[in-house]
A and B are shown apart, each in its own frame.
Chain A
Amino acid sequence: MKILAIDTSNIPLSVAVLEDKTLLATMTTNIKKNHSITLMPAIADVMKLAGVKPAELDRIIVAQGPGSFTGLRIGVATAKTLAFALDCELVGVSSLELLAAGISDDKTDIVPLFDARRNHVFSGLYRNSNELINELPDQHRDLVAWLTELKERNQSQIFVGTDVDLFKPQIIDILGEQAYFPAPFLNVPQAFILGLIGKDKEPVEQETFIPNYLRLTQAESQWLETHSDKDHNTYVEKI
């Protein structure tokens, strides 16, 4: 099976081409450049290096969120349209699961996290014994509340992600010796790993595939405070 894996959930961008479990070519960047500029040329380059033509792809795997809304949309719009245009399978993988999967330690809780601003994070809780298990679902949380909840588990916990540094003082402050930090290279998501995780997942229905934002837009949550979301006209209609 020829696989293209794409992650643009946050500042890092990673693209990989796999043949089953084998990596053929990959590219990862961690620079502040628009993913819209970088992604499609990266896909073209990596596929060329791998010697795989678009029509040969069997499956496209994309990190589906959470993460930066714009980043997610670039990755998902590209993956979804490619899969549609090439009539191949499409698979979505949690962007947090992708980071967690890099940690093979089976004795600790794995806590991948992304900065969601205003001292909030996107995070979840995973364990990796033989297979990766999601114990607490991906969620958008106030950092302090999240760390306090984690504290009560009384487990050693490893925090992973490029944004972890930013929150290290608060993590150590609340969790003390319960908290661990991985080797730095594990903080950057790798599309190769994304390919390995997504290889065994069920393909999704392409047409309705969207990012997992894990947050309503501000306008919608405000509107919902005073309105009901039931019995409305379809929000989008073809005319």
Chain B
Amino acid sequence: MSAEKKNLILAFESSCDETSVAVVEDGHIILSNIVATQVNSHKRFGGVVPEVASRHHIEQITSCVQDAMTEANVSYDDLDAVAVTYGPGLVGALLVGVSAAKAIAFAHELPLIPVNHMAGHIFAARYESEISYPSMALLVSGGHTELVYMPEEGQFEIIGETRDDAAGEAYDKVGRVLGMTYPSGKEIDELAHTGKDTFNFPRAMIKDDNYDFSFSGLKSAFINTVHHADQLGETLDRADLATSFQQSVVDVLAEKTLRACHEYDIKQLILAGGVAANKGLRARLEADMEKMDTVEFIKAPIKLCGDNAAMIGAAGYVEFLKGQRAGLDLNADPSLEFDWIA
């Protein structure tokens, strides 16, 4: 009796400032997940510089493939497909991963699977639990903040999104004002657990009858508060500032997400994206969702919230089963988006 053949996908991610290559088995087992992060480089500039990012990706790409294959202990013959992020993201950065993935697909006659980076973020949750449909995802990252309804596997419909800054972007901008190095989400998160919500920053759009968000008002309120104090020669309590900011972000995200969970007939709520690593947000949704026993709450594992290729492999596996294939003319699509709900 021979064991059933396992599906092995070699996955690529290079949409922003991480070069990552993974080998994923059956869409939910990580055999390797190599992540080369460029944060130390971009810290110099206070944010990701696209041309610098692209240059680092090409330095790292084959070394990451090598490590991923070695750590997973697989050869090209073992692979069933190559999956790659083709958008959204920085075009020059995406192109390195796309070119490399196409080269390997061509060299070893493997099917090429195009993956939407945001679907990837959602499928990081697949390493926590199986996903059952219909489900809802709160996707919070450096470039996106959106609620995504998934009626069935492989279908994504936006029901609401930020009208200005993404939550992660707000964290990073506010962090800069506090003199933190880029990216500052994690540091603010930690600081936020030591202070009190004394500033009462605005909770934009929290009562609006839609699922959209806005964080630029909060960001401005925060910056104005700090600058005003600076002018008066006062120093504000950093921990209280962080707590107040985080409380505002978490309140809005949680309240609107909860409303969506009541409104839609769903089996699961998935929390994913870089900001899903936020301890305050995880705890808050955890507590809120406990009261909703019809909806299961799944959090992407903290280690897989940031950009990585394992999540691309998980999303790629679903596309693979659906027969989704890209030609060798696959191009990067920097502004790729899910459709809005009909």
Distance of A206 Cα from B63 Cα, bound (Å): 9
Knowing A40-B329, A54-B107, A223-B45, say if A78 contacts B38 (CB, 8 Å): no
Q: A41, A81, A208, A236: which contacts B327 (Cβ < 8 A)?
A: A41
Given known contacts A54-B107, A85-B108, is B58 in contact with A235 (CB within 8 Å)?
no
A84 pairs with B62, CB closer than 8 A: yes
List 4 A-B pairs, minimum CB-CB distance, nearest first.
A235-B41, A81-B103, A77-B99, A40-B328
Query: A142-154 CB contact bits vs B (8 Å, 1 = yes)?
Result: 0000000000000
B329 and A38 contacting across the interface, CB-CB below 8 Å: yes
A43 at interface (Cβ–Cβ under 8 A)?
A: yes
Which of B47-55, B155-163, B272-280 participates in binding chain A? B47-55
Tell me if B54 and A69 are in contact (CB < 8 A).
yes
Complex: A220 Cα to B38 Cα, angstroms: 14
Complex formed: what's the CA distance from A239 to B102 in Å?
A: 25
A74 touches B95 (CB 8 A): yes
Interface residues of B (CB under 8 A from A): 19, 34-38, 40-41, 44-45, 49, 51-52, 54-56, 58-67, 76, 91-92, 95-96, 98-100, 102-104, 106-109, 327-332
**Count of inter-chain pairs, beta carbons less than 8 A:** 132
Chain B nearest CB: distance from A22 CB in Å? Answer: 23
Besides A77-B96, A236-B19, 5 more A-B contacts (Cβ < 8 Å) are A34-B331, A70-B92, A210-B58, A238-B35, A238-B36
Contact of A236 among B56, B65, B102 (CB under 8 A): B56
Cα distance A8–B12 when bound, in Å?
A: 22
Map CB proximity to B onto A1-42 as digits: 1 under 8 Å, 0 otherwise: 000000000000000000000000000000000101111110
Do residues A77 and B40 form an inter-chain contact, with CB atoms below 8 A?
Answer: no
Q: Which residues of A contact B60 (CB under 8 A)?
A: 236
Find out whether the CB atom of A219 lies under 8 angstroms from the CB atom of B329: no
In the assembled complex, which residues on chain A have CB atoms less than 8 Å from the CB atom of B66? 84, 207
Instruction: Check A78–B99 contact: CB distance below 8 A.
Output: yes
Bound form: Cα–Cα A218–B276 in Å: 33
B329 touches A81 (CB 8 A): no
B residues near A207, Cβ cutoff 8 Å: 62-63, 66
Stretch at the interface among A115-123, A170-178, A226-234: A226-234
A50 within 8 A of B: no
A73-B58 in contact given A34-B331, A219-B52 (Cβ < 8 Å): yes
A186 within 8 Å of B (CB atoms): no
A219, B99: Cβ atoms closer than 8 Å: no
In the complex, the chain B residue whose C-beta lies closest to that of A84 is B62
Instruction: Let me know if B52 and A217 touch, CB within 8 A.
Output: yes
Contacts A69-B92, A81-B99, A85-B104: A235 and B329 contacting too (C-beta < 8 A)? no
Q: How far is the CB of A198 from chain B (nearest CB, A)?
A: 18
Chain B residues positioned under 8 Å from A223 (CB to CB) = 44-45
The residue from A38, A40, A81, A238 contacting B67, defined by CB atoms under 8 A apart: A238
Cα-based distance from A85 to B105 in the complex (angstroms): 10
In the assembled complex, the Cα of A69 lies from the Cα of B40 at a distance in Å of 22
Say whether B95 contacts A237, CB under 8 Å: no
Contact B100 A81, beta carbon cutoff 8 Å: yes
A77 touches B59 (CB 8 A): no
Complex alpha-carbon distance, A54 and B76, angstroms: 13
Q: Which residues of B have CB within 8 Å of A219?
A: 44-45, 49, 51-52
Q: Would you list 7 pairs from A and B whose C-beta atoms are within 8 A, ordered by A residue? A: A73-B54, A73-B99, A74-B95, A77-B95, A77-B96, A78-B102, A236-B37
* CB of A80 closer than 8 Å to a CB of B: yes
Residues of A within 8 A of B40 (CB): 232-237
Q: Which residue of A lies closest to B99 (CB)?
A: A77
Determine whether the beta carbon of B98 is less than 8 Å from that of A36: yes
A132 is an interface residue with CB less than 8 A from chain B: no
Nearest to A88 among chain B residues (CB) is: B107
The reply to whether the CB of A86 lies closer than 8 angstroms to some CB of chain B is yes
A36 to B63, CA, bound (A): 22
Which residues of chain B have C-beta atoms less than 8 A from A66's C-beta?
none
A62-83 contacts to B (CB < 8 Å):
69-70, 73-74, 76-78, 80-82
